[in-house]
Structure 1
Amino acid sequence: MINSIVKDRVFGLDLMRTIAILMVLFGHCLWVFPESTRFLYQLFVLFGFFGVEIFFVLSGFLIGKILYQLYLKEDFSITSVFYFLKRRWFRTLPNYFLILIVNIGIALMIGYSTPSLWRYFFFLQNLKVTMLPFFPESWSLSVEEFAYIILPFFLLIIAALFKPKNKSLFFLFTIVLLILIFFCNKIYYQNTTTNTTIDQWNLSLKSVVLYRLDSIFIGVFCSWIYFNYNSFWQKSKNILFVLGILFFGFLFVGIGYLGLFIETHSALWNVFYLPFVSVAVACFLPFLSEWKQEKSIFLKPITFISIISYSIYLLHYSVVLQLMKNFIPLNSQNQPLVYGFVLVYIVITFLLSYLLYRFYEKPIMDLRDKN
């Protein structure tokens, strides 16, 4: 199965997706280790956050490429919008609703209170306020789903109002406008709240749809550059790659070294930090989107993890990890037991994710492609 898939994929983007899901996977299992101020522990604390941010920009880049070509190729109409959404929803919704129902069953089984569950069926759990602790990783899926809806409909409405002659520049104008709108939402947040703790920032800003959609649209903006300035895209890929490394070095080390914490620099965190992370991720896209690999010992494992990454994301935390936390007693001071727990967690997650992909996600995707 992997052999037939490999030839149609971009290795660099698969690597990007694989790194992202592994960062999320390992970042979420830190609770089994004693809390520490050591650098390695703090680095893993950040992994879950940065993994999702990579997904946002990469997702924006990929859907931007699809939508941009669709927008230019034909008379962009409501039919075009629904065609785009149908293909997206075949990709995302079946898995999401299945695992949502599984999570509801688990919550009922362990006696967990689940109020306002209807919000999760419409991706409203974190539209403008902090979401409930139930199925917490679904916050990022709400951001992506609203991006899928807002972008094509915004293009359609603005195009109907202004009748653009240069559709490529109009696409760019629309993306920049959307980025500015959701960037300004963060300015509004900064001016209307007194957020001075990282926990509040994490729940009330970082995980709320109305403040996060610009991360997806920065990826879409990159797709426009890819098509319209491909020579620049290719010539600058090494420079931008190095720049991305420097940006991440600043995010991992520089902010702490300079003492730029939210308690003293709330505007930096509330307004500029998240867009800067998205730009840092975007710097890797030119290099990785051009990285083709036909023969490598890493090719098949990277491709395998990439294609089951969505299933991993849905299953790893609220299903696998939460059930293990509830039914397996663990002493965090017993290191062999802790490492064994993590190994079992990873094996179970990969096994269930492969089964979900092989017998549910892939058949639905095949059905989509046939139609």
Structure 2
Amino acid sequence: MQNKSVSRIFGLDCVRALAITLVILSHCSFLLFPGETSLFLDSVRLMGAIGVDLFFVLSGYLIGGILLKQLIDKKTSWSFFLNFWKRRWFRTLPNYFLVLILNILLFLIIGHSLPKDIFLYYLFFQNFAWKHPNFFTEAWSLSVEEYAYLLLPIIFYIGMIINKKWKATKFFLWVTISTIVALALIKLEYFFNNEVSSYKDWSTSFRKVVIYRLDSIYYGFLAAYCVKLYPEFISRNKKGFLVFGLCLFAVLHIFIYMFNLLPQNNMFFYTFFYLQLICISLIALFPNFIELKSQTPFKSIVLFVSTRSYAMYLVNYSLILLSLQRVFDLEETSVLSKVGLLFFFLGICIIISNLIYVYFEKPILKYRDTKFPR
């Protein structure tokens, strides 16, 4: 990803900005309404999870597009795949390790015990096939992305060694579909061997576990394939896709509400359908985002939020929100004070993420683009 705004796709910047906005808004509810629950609050907090899913499918769409082009251009030697990984690692790892270290320092300062297997965080292995520890909770999604970036490119590389004559587009499509199917079979083990008592229990034991969530990234790969091969059809029917995506999302949650579908009483639905349908509904919105024009008075705001979205995602909860919860008894705090804390929370999120982006992330990306050009 280039850092010059002229090379950015405005619509995808809008997707990033929307995703992080949903995450931040969901966390704001914990400041304003601590310990409270209602249909409205549950819906707002659900939007935080949807924001992460939006990040997943967007990431898959972008990375899938890069890999598909690489296969089409016959850049299938090990050096090309290694360059792909180096670029991804320079994009994701520095911020991640910086915030991981900050979380460790914060825990040591306040006298909390670190997870006994803290070293697993350095390998993105802390939630590979089990629940994520109650530390630096945002890290669960980074683990999903890092292993997604490893798995399919390795399969692509091995496949092209076996047969270099495979047509790139068909090879990309069938390997992606086969991988999604294989990952669905892994979910059978979860379905038959786990019981959950609540949505939160299901979320920690399934939704935030690497081996059960890799397919969320790969739905984005399928979207990249469709946009690459059928651009005119998708552009021509973008309004239809928009209606389909919104209706699918709405009907899915209305159906859940009407029939009181919960993980503890309908594990099959939540294991094999819910998250998959969420991803499909979000991907259906992409054709409209892709064609958004940047001639808007909100362009600078969208660009600012989009470029800082990764840093903002990493710091907003574990570093900032939880620190505020440790300092203030929010359930005993007045409404006016909560509003003040809310503005402080948003302000400090913006300030810290901007500092990380300008003085840490951006220079590293500039070095990456010089050292490892696409």
Question: Which TM class, normalised by the smaller chain length?
Answer: over 0.9
Equivalent-residue separation in structure 2 for 1:273 and 1:252 (angstroms): 9
CA contact (8 A) 2:65 2:221 kept: yes
Specify the SS of the correspondent of 2:125. coil
CA contact (8 A) 2:138 2:317 kept: yes
1:288 shift after superposition:
0.8
For 2:251, the equivalent position in structure 1 comes to: 250
Percent of aligned positions with the same letter in both sequences?
34
Question: 5 Å matches for 1:196-235?
Answer: 196-235=197-236
For 1:281, the equivalent position in structure 2 comes to: 282
Instruction: Confirm or deny that 1:108 pairs with 2:102.
Output: no
Equivalent-residue separation in structure 2 for 1:292 and 1:143 (angstroms): 31
Q: Which deviates more from structure 2 when the two are superposed, residues 300-309 or residues 242-251?
A: 242-251
Equivalent-residue separation in structure 2 for 1:298 and 1:218 (angstroms): 29
Equivalent-residue separation in structure 1 for 2:268 and 2:367 (angstroms): 47
1:67 shift after superposition:
1.2
For 2:320, the equivalent position in structure 1 comes to: 320
Specify the SS of the correspondent of 1:292. coil
Specify the SS of the correspondent of 1:243. helix
For 2:305, the equivalent position in structure 1 comes to: 305
1:34 shift after superposition:
4.2
For 1:21, the equivalent position in structure 2 comes to: 20
For 1:169, the equivalent position in structure 2 comes to: 170
Question: 5 Å matches for 1:1-371?
Answer: 5-32=4-31, 33-114=33-114, 115-293=116-294, 295-332=295-332, 334-371=334-371
Equivalent-residue separation in structure 1 for 2:37 and 2:247 (angstroms): 23
1:7 shift after superposition:
2.7
CA contact (8 A) 2:128 2:209 kept: yes
String of CA shifts for 1:218-264, please: whole Å, max 9, x gaps. Answer: 00111011111111221121101111111221244331123222232
Q: Which deviates more from structure 2 when the two are superposed, residues 282-291 or residues 137-146?
A: 282-291
| Partner AA of 1:28 in structure 2 | H
1:333 shift after superposition:
5.5
CA contact (8 A) 1:128 1:210 kept: yes
Equivalent-residue separation in structure 1 for 2:34 and 2:119 (angstroms): 36
Gaps of 5+ in 1: none
String of CA shifts for 1:167-208, please: whole Å, max 9, x gaps. Answer: 110111111111111122222211222235312210110000
CA contact (8 A) 1:61 1:220 kept: yes
Measured at CA, do residues 104 and 65 of structure 1 come closer, stay the same or move farther in structure 2, by a change above 3 Å? Answer: same
| Partner AA of 2:141 in structure 1 | S
CA contact (8 A) 2:127 2:143 kept: yes
Specify the SS of the correspondent of 1:267. helix
Specify the SS of the correspondent of 1:308. helix
Gaps of 5+ in 2: none
Specify the SS of the correspondent of 1:307. helix
TM-score by length of 2: 0.94
1:209 shift after superposition:
0.3
Query: Could you say what the CA RMSD is over the residues aligned between the two structures, in angstroms?
Result: 1.6
Specify the SS of the correspondent of 1:121. helix
CA contact (8 A) 1:127 1:210 kept: yes
1:81 shift after superposition:
0.9
Q: Which deviates more from structure 2 when the two are superposed, residues 197-206 or residues 55-64?
A: 197-206
Equivalent-residue separation in structure 2 for 1:75 and 1:35 (angstroms): 53
